[in-house]
Amino acid sequence: MLNGIPLHWFLLVAAALFCLGLFGALARKNAIAVLMGVELMLNAVNINLLAFWRYVNPAGTGGLAFTAFVFIVAAAEAAVGLALIISVYRNTQSIDPEKLDQMKL
Amino acid sequence: MEVSQIVFLILTVTLLGAAALVVTTKNLFHAALYLIVSFFSVAGMYVLLEAGFFAAAQLLVYIGAISILFIFAVMLTRGTALITPLNSQAGAVGVMSAIMFAILAVFLWPAPIRLQEVILGGFRLLRGGTYGGEPWQFVPNNADTAAVVNNATLRLGAALGDFAQYGALLLLSGALLLVGVIGSIWVARERKIADTRADRSEAAADARHEAQLESEAEAREAAALPAGAHAASVEGQH
């Protein structure tokens, strides 16, 4: 399955995905879209972890275990983040991160 | 060109195209659907990397659970889906992301350019070391590696259940998920009385209105009663 694909192809795709996710997390005007960008970045990290596991150390389990923990943390993060966004929307009728400045000094 | 390479390139095009649409589409519901497409492409990448367990987990966790959460959140925050997609710092952020990708690409690119070796070798020379870095030690693509990769899920399960390796971390992450889910239910619960901002200001306005009505009624009562009767009633109260 892996014949003919060099490691740096995976790394380049993951880097491009991470940069797209970073752009989404910093440049979107909607808190839900910001969370989508974060999810894209987490997926890029997972691709990197599994690629290094497969090419460098397939006999170990470090890359696999780390990917599993990233999955778990990503699920918890999405649940808490979306609950916060829904709560903010109930209170202010807006989910624009720039308008959420009630806690500013 | 081999089949696996063609599959990889198709997955790359769908992944990066869908991701670019996720971060630029105006309609947030469409962005959530493109997010599902990019999750699917990442699952294909995991299949190419021979990590079948994680391809299945990607389908179950990301496409089955997280995407649905996103779609629900989009539906529950209706009326905000069609505001302008990008904020004022989008241009600067785009340039910064492009520069960051260019730097990563220079350092990840293989043989023909070797720019990263020039830069890193220069750093090493400056710090008194030798020119040239240590390459990654790839495993050979033979039958032994295939056997090791094929029972990877078995070994992962053993490692996650073994308290000498990741057992405690697995329990901790289970606790993290439980606390996260309970906390998100608590945060997103329906507030009944005077708990949200709008409710509080409404309740305060009601209270002010009632107080005003009361004081007006008292004033009217006082005006209607003759002065002596009023004094008598006050004395009678004492």
- Residue spans per domain, chain A: 29-99
Give the C-alpha separation, B11 to B111, whole Å: 24
- Top mean-pLDDT range of A53-57, A67-71, B221-225: A67-71
From the CB of residue B2, how many other CB atoms can be counted at a distance below 10 Å? Answer: 10
Q: What is the pLDDT of residue B83?
A: 61
Architecture of domain A29-99: Orthogonal Bundle (1.10)
Q: Measuring CA to CA, which residue among B65, B66, B62 is closest to residue B44? A: B62
8 A C-beta contact, residue B160 and residue B148: no
Nearest CA in chain A to B135: A56
- Token pair in block for residue B88: 């004022």
Residue A105 C-alpha, separation from nearest chain B C-alpha, in angstroms: 19
Contact B159 A28 (CB under 8 A): no
Higher-confidence position of B80 and A66: A66
8 A C-beta contact, residue A38 and residue A21: yes
Please report residues of A whose CB lies closer than 8 A to that of B81: 30
B205-B210-B211-B213 Cα dihedral, nearest 10 degrees: 130
- Top mean-pLDDT range of A26-30, A68-72, B26-30: A68-72
Confidence of residue A92 (pLDDT cuts 50, 70, 90): confident
Q: At what angle do helices B28-48 and A31-56 cross, to 10 degrees?
A: 0
Confidence of residue B112 (pLDDT cuts 50, 70, 90): very low
Please report residues of B whose CB lies closer than 8 A to that of A54: 49-51, 149
Give the C-alpha separation, A35 to B23, whole Å: 10
Q: What are phi and psi of A4, to 5 degrees?
A: 90, -10
Residue A104 C-alpha, separation from nearest chain B C-alpha, in angstroms: 17
Mean of all residue pLDDT scores within chain A: 89
Q: Measuring CA to CA, which residue among B27, B80, B184 is closest to residue A82? A: B184
Contacts of B198 (CB under 8 A, 6+ apart): A91
Residue B237 C-alpha, separation from nearest chain A C-alpha, in angstroms: 48
Residue B76 has pLDDT above 60, yes or no: yes
Please report residues of B whose CB lies closer than 8 A to that of A76: 176-177, 180-181
Q: What is the pLDDT of residue B231?
A: 52
List, for residues B141-200, the tens digit of each pLDDT value: 778 888 888 888 999 999 999 899 999 999 999 999 999 999 999 988 877 655 555 666
Q: Measuring CA to CA, which residue among A9, A32, A66 is closest to residue B12? A: A9
Q: Measuring CA to CA, which residue among B38, B36, B29, B30 is closest to residue B74? A: B29
Residue A82 has pLDDT above 50, yes or no: yes
Q: How far is CA B215 from CA B103, B204, B212, B221, in A?
A: 72, 17, 5, 10
pTM of the model: 0.80
Give the C-alpha separation, B60 to B65, whole Å: 7
Residue B124 has pLDDT above 80, yes or no: no
What percent of chain B shows pLDDT beyond 90? 42
B206-B207-B209-B211 Cα dihedral, nearest 10 degrees: 160
**Which of B16, B53, B86 is closest, CB to CB, to A16?**
B16
A40-A41-A46-A47 Cα dihedral, nearest 10 degrees: 80
- Top mean-pLDDT range of A5-9, A76-80, B204-208, B233-237: A76-80
**Which of A19, A28, A39 is closest, CB to CB, to B101?**
A19
The three-class DSSP label of residue B86 is strand
